[in-house]
Amino acid sequence: MANSAINIVGVSLGSCRVVWFKVMPKRAQQWCTNKGNLPYFETSAKEALNVEQAFQAVARQALALETDAELYNEFPDQIRLSDDAPSQSSAAHCNC
């Protein structure tokens, strides 16, 4: 793989686009280095090559950029899975 062009998939979250293009691995590695030493992975879902490792690396970097304040400000309302108060049936509010 090192001497042939590789497929690159770029995902733009802002415009919900997926862009495909081919580059040489050395150029892709250099781009990653220039963008702040981003991790470089050659992956293949078909052959289960580095998919999990690439996902975990991206997730770790995304979480490292988040602050607790940003996370809680983005989702301020709590979702309660169980309610301690007894629930009232809809029949109790019906005027039938």
How far is it, in rounded angstroms, from Cα 56 to Cα 60?
A: 6
Residue 80 lies in a domain: no
pLDDT at 41: 87
How far is it, in rounded angstroms, from Cα 54 to Cα 60?
A: 10
The answer to whether 24 and 5 have CB atoms below 8 angstroms apart is yes
Residue 88 lies in a domain: no
How far is it, in rounded angstroms, from Cα 40 to Cα 58?
A: 10
Residue 81 lies in a domain: no
Residue 16 lies in a domain: yes
Tell me if the pTM is above 0.75: no
Q: Which residue has the higher pLDDT, 2 or 52?
A: 52
Mean predicted confidence (pLDDT) in 11-27? 73
Residue 84 lies in a domain: no
Residue 13 lies in a domain: yes
Q: What is the number of domains present in the chain?
A: 1
How far is it, in rounded angstroms, from Cα 39 to Cα 53?
A: 10
How far is it, in rounded angstroms, from Cα 52 to Cα 92?
A: 52
